[in-house]
Chains A and B, each alone.
Chain A
C-alpha cells in the first residue's frame, strides 16, 4: 500500500516511518529477569499439544481416509442387509383391479344426448327467429 509512488499520502507515510521512535538498543535486564523468575514458577506448557505441523497433516489425512473407508463399509452393509428385511407379500395388481370391473355399470347415453341436442337446436332456432323479428321491428 505504502509502496505505491503516486498515493497522495506517500509523504505522510514516509514521515510517519521516519518519526517512529526507535526501539531501545538492549532489553531491560531487570524486567526480563523478573519475567523469567515468574515463568520459572509456572508449569511447563503442554507440550503434547504442540504436534508437528507435518504430523497434524498426516493425522488429518489418516482421519479422512478412515472416514471414507468406514462410510464405504457402512454403505456396503446396508446394501447387503436390504434383502434380509421382511418383504411385503407379493400382490398382483390385475387381481386387485379386476374387482373394479364389476362395479362399473355401462350406461347408454345415446338417447338422452340426442334428445338434449334436439332441444338445444330447437332453442337456437327459436332464439334466432325472435332476434330476427325484433331486429326487423326496430328497422321498419
Chain B
C-alpha cells in the first residue's frame, strides 16, 4: 500500500489479489449473495485505493480492509430497496435465497446465522473466522474493546444455549457445558 500511495498503481494488483479470497469469504459469511459480491469487492478495492495515502504501514492491512469492506456492505444493505414478498414468489424466493455456502450438515456457522442476530454472527465471524483480536474487531466495528468482549461473550453464550436446546441438528461437540 505504501507503493500504491507513492503512485505505483500496478502495486495495487498485489493488494487486490491478496484480499480477494478473504473478502469473498467475508461477504459470503455475512450473507451477501454471490451476484453482489463482485460489486462489493470492486467498491471496497476502489475505496482502499483512494485511501491508500491514509494507510498506516505500522498496522496490519486486513483489519483496515475489513473495516472498509464492512462499511461498503452496510451501505449495500441500506441501498437495497425494501420489497414485499408475493405469495406466488415465495417458492421461488426460497430457492434463490442468499444463503451463504455452508460446509455441510454439521455447519455451526449456518446454525449460528439461523439462530443469532446478524451483529452477533458478525462478531463471532470476525473473532473465529477471520481470527482478529478483540481490539482489532473494535476498530473494525467502531466499538470499544470492552464492548466487543462483552458482545462476544453474549454471542457465545447464546450460541451455546441454542446448541444445547437444539433438538434437530447440531449439538455441541465434546460433551456437556
Tell me if B53 and A31 are in contact (CB < 8 A).
no
Tell me if B49 and A45 are in contact (CB < 8 A).
yes
**By DSSP majority rule, is chain B's interface helix, strand, loop, or mixed?**
helix
Tell me if A35 and B53 are in contact (CB < 8 A).
no
B114 to chain A: closest CB distance in Å? Answer: 14
B2 contacts which chain A residues (CB < 8 A)? 50
Tell me if A19 and B109 are in contact (CB < 8 A).
yes
B128 contacts which chain A residues (CB < 8 A)? 2, 13, 16-17, 20
Say if the beta carbon of A44 comes within 8 Å of chain B.
yes
Say if the beta carbon of A81 comes within 8 Å of chain B.
no
Say if the beta carbon of B115 comes within 8 Å of chain A.
no
A:1-43 near B, CB below 8 Å: 1-2, 8-9, 11-13, 15-17, 19-21, 23-28, 31-32, 34-36, 38-40, 42
A9 contacts which chain B residues (CB < 8 A)? 156-157, 160, 177
A21 to B49, CA, bound (A): 28
User: Contact residue range for chain B?
Assistant: 35 or more
A85 to B125, CA, bound (A): 71
| Known contacts A9-B156, A16-B109, A47-B7: A39-B12 contact under CB 8 Å | yes
A:24-75 near B, CB below 8 Å: 24-28, 31-32, 34-36, 38-40, 42, 44-50, 53
Tell me if A19 and B103 are in contact (CB < 8 A).
yes
Say if the beta carbon of B75 comes within 8 Å of chain A.
no
A25 to B6, CA, bound (A): 30
| Known contacts A1-B134, A24-B24, A27-B21: A11-B5 contact under CB 8 Å | no
Q: What is the chain B residue whose CB lies nearest that of A30?
A: B38
Most buried by B among A13, A35, A40: A35
Contact partner of B16 among A21, A35, A40, A42, CB < 8 A?
Answer: A35
Say if the beta carbon of B72 comes within 8 Å of chain A.
no
Tell me if A27 and B17 are in contact (CB < 8 A).
yes
A36 to chain B: closest CB distance in Å? Answer: 5
B55 contacts which chain A residues (CB < 8 A)? 50
Q: List 27 A-B contacts (CB under 8 A).
A: A1-B149, A9-B156, A9-B160, A11-B175, A11-B177, A15-B172, A15-B174, A16-B108, A16-B109, A16-B112, A17-B131, A19-B107, A19-B109, A21-B29, A23-B21, A24-B20, A25-B21, A38-B46, A39-B45, A39-B46, A42-B46, A42-B49, A45-B49, A45-B53, A46-B53, A50-B53, A53-B56
Other than A27-B20, A38-B42, A50-B55, give 13 A-B pairs with Cβ distance below 8 A: A1-B134, A1-B152, A9-B160, A11-B172, A19-B106, A21-B25, A21-B29, A26-B21, A35-B16, A45-B7, A45-B49, A47-B7, A47-B53
